Every structure is written in C-alpha cells, then in structure tokens.
C-alpha cells in the first residue's frame, strides 16, 4: 500500500456563519417549531443550498415572490433584505411575516432613508441584481439611488447635484476593491457624505483578513460557499490577490477535483458567511482519505456578535396562531 502524501491544512478563522446568517436560520427554525410546518420563505434565507435543503427537510417552503404564499401561513423574508414594497404587500394581504434581514443591512437601509430625507441622492457601491442591492435600492423611490459596481462606473454616472450626495455600500464587498471605488467617488465628488460607520460588515472584513493571512503560505485555497454568495466569491478574489492563484470556490467536498490538487502540500480552507462548519469538516474528512493530514488554525480575530430574534418568536404569546389569526 502506497503511503499517503503529507498535507498541512491551514484553517482560516474566523470563517463560516456570521451573526446575521445565524439569526436568519434560527428565525426559520424557531418559526417551524412554534407555528408548525409549513413556513414560507421568500428567496433563499441565505445563499447556501445545504442550509436551504436542511430547512426544507424541516418543512420550510422557499418561493420567489409573495404571490406564491397562501393566506394563513407565516412567511419569512431573507437575510439579504427586501424592498419596501414587499412588507407593504404582505400587510395589504394580512400576511404574518418575520423579517430576517441582517441588522447590519437594516442599518444601511436606515442610513439611505436618512440621506434621502435630508435631500441627498445615494450612490450605492454594490453588485447589480444581488438581493441585498435590490433591497437597499428598494427602500427609496426610483432615481434616489445610483448604483456603481466598478471604478470605471464612477466616471460614467450622472447625478442630480454633485454637492448633495452620500454613498453606501453592499455589506459583503471586497474591502480592498471597495476602497478603490470609494477613492474614485471622492475624487470626482469631493462633497460626498460618508457613512457614520463602515457599511462592509465586520464578518466580511474579518473573513477577508483571515484569508489574507493564510493565502501567501499555501499551494491552494478552497473557499466553501455558494456560487451566488457575494461574500464567498470575494474570498476567492482576496485569496488570489494575496498570493494564492489556485484559489477556488466549492460548494462541498464532492465538488473538489482532488486529482488537480494531488501535488499540493499546504492547503488553505475557509468558508463564506453563509456556509455551515459541517461543510468544512466534510472537506477535511475527504482530504484525510487522500493525504496524511495535519490541521493548523490561523486566527486573526475573535467574534462575539449576537443578534436577537424578533419579539414575535421570543414572547410567550407569539403574534401568529396556527389557525391563521393574528394575535
């Protein structure tokens, strides 16, 4: 029997679930416990098929829009946030809804509203079509938010009044890439107002810093995450920019081409903010089938953030009864 080649795995920490994702998943789980199945969820609660399928097995039903939700059942809005038209429609129909929007995304929404009230047009740095961007732009009337995705976009955008602008960012962007876009914005519009606090969330920043710490010292980096997960895709980009061109996004162990990695001796592993730790453990187990593995954890920050669940799920007399009558 041929001896397995050695492999050192560097595990980035922090990695995986952030407080907003953890809260969103708990909202669905507790709603199922409290009200029974089915509980409807508008869009993927977080961008991870493993999480979605696990919740489906418990009785969650995922839909694209509210018109797919029948009367008399609870509905949960995803962690990415929704345009104002969505809760307005839920209220018009008398639906009981739970908003799982990450509190850090909600802060961006409130800041955009404040700027609008104070007469500023908002320039949003983000990715077109991403649910978080759709939700943020949907907080304000059409035209009140201008989206920029790249440095090149900054030179092209048209604004109503260069002296009355504010910027906001999607919470899951690359910190370094966003800095370049922001510099271009401030150069073109010196009067643009900044957020009171950085919009890119603590978890996104921490995971990118952890990847930067391991990338230069490994032969390849695997990022556990979904192809539609913004923060996971940014981790791949950050790893490549930090010195590991062989960085790739994988959803789970079964997706890994181990033949292409047969020559590696040092492997970095991290997980996007919506990827559960069980998927990391699955990859390590798969590696142990092929290599003599030693694991080292590289920690660059400690996280202790916890977000509370909605009151409807924590009060003894919840706001919804299974019969479909609001309490």
Query: Mean pLDDT for each 10-residue chunk of the chain (327 residues)?
Result: 91 98 98 97 96 98 97 97 98 97 97 96 97 98 97 96 96 93 97 86 96 98 96 97 98 97 97 97 98 98 97 79 44
The burial of 196, by beta-carbon neighbours within 10 Å (0-12 exposed, 13-18 middle, 19 or more buried), is given as exposed
pLDDT of residue 277: 98
Task: Confirm whether 133 is domain-assigned.
Answer: yes
Task: Confirm whether 325 is domain-assigned.
Answer: no
pLDDT of residue 319: 65
Domain count of the fold of the chain = 3
CATH code: domain of residue 48: 3.40.50.11270
Domain end among 85, 102, 119: 102
Task: Confirm whether 320 is domain-assigned.
Answer: no
Catalytic annotation present for 132: yes
144 and 168 belong to one structural domain: yes
Domain end among 102, 119, 146: 102
pTM to 2 decimal places: 0.94
Task: Confirm whether 193 is domain-assigned.
Answer: no
User: How do 6-13 and 292-299 pair as beta strands?
Assistant: parallel
Task: Confirm whether 222 is domain-assigned.
Answer: yes
User: How do 247-250 and 220-224 pair as beta strands?
Assistant: parallel
- Domain extent, residue 54, equals 19-102
Backbone angles phi, psi at 119, to 5 degrees: 90, 15
Task: Confirm whether 221 is domain-assigned.
Answer: yes
Structure tokens at 199: 């919009």
12 and 81 belong to one structural domain: no
The burial of 49, by beta-carbon neighbours within 10 Å (0-12 exposed, 13-18 middle, 19 or more buried), is given as middle
Catalytic residue (choose from 68, 113, 132, 316): 132
Give the containing element (helix H, strand E) for 176. Answer: helix 175-188
Cβ-contact 130, 230 below 8 angstroms: yes
First-to-final CA distance of the chain: 67
- How far is residue 190's CA from residue 179's CA, in Å, rounded to a whole number? 15
211 and 294 belong to one structural domain: yes
Task: Confirm whether 250 is domain-assigned.
Answer: yes
């Amino acid at each position: 029997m041929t001896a397995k080649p050695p492999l050192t795995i560097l595990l980035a920490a922090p990695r995986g679930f952030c407080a907003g994702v953890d809260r969103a998943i708990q909202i669905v789980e507790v709603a199922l416990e409290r009200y029974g199945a089915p509980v409807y969820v508008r869009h993927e609660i977080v961008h991870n098929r493993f999480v979605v399928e696990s919740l489906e097995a418990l009785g969650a039903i995922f839909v694209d829009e509210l018109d797919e939700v029948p009367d008399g059942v609870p509905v949960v809005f995803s962690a990415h946030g929704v345009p104002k038209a969505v809760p307005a429609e839920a209220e018009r129909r008398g639906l009981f809804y739970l908003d799982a929007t990450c509190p850090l995304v909600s802060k961006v929404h409130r800041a955009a509203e404040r700027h609008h009230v104070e007469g500023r047009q908002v320039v949003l740095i983000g990715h077109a079509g991403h649910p978080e961007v759709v939700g943020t732009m949907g907080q304000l009337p059409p035209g009140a938010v201008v989206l920029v995705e790249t440095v090149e976009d900054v030179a092209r955008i048209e604004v109503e009044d260069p002296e009355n602008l504010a910027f906001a960012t999607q919470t899951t962007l690359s910190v370094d890439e966003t800095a370049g876009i922001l510099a271009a914005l401030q150069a073109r519009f010196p009067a643009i107002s900044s957020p009171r606090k950085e919009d890119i969330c603590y978890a996104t920043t921490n995971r990118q810093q952890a990847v930067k710490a391991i990338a230069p010292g490994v032969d390849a980096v695997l990022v556990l995450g979904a192809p539609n997960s913004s923060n996971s895709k940014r981790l791949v980009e950050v790893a490549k920019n930090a010195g590991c061109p062989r960085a790739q996004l994988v959803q789970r162990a079964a997706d890994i081409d181990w033949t292409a990695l047969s020559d590696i001796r040092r492997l970095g592993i991290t997980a996007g903010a919506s990827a559960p730790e069980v998927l990391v453990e699955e990859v390590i187990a798969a590696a142990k089938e092929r290599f003599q593995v030693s694991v080292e954890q590289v920690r660059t920050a400690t996280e202790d953030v916890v977000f509370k669940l909605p009151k409807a799920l924590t009060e003894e007399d919840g706001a919804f009864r299974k019969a479909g009558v609001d309490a």
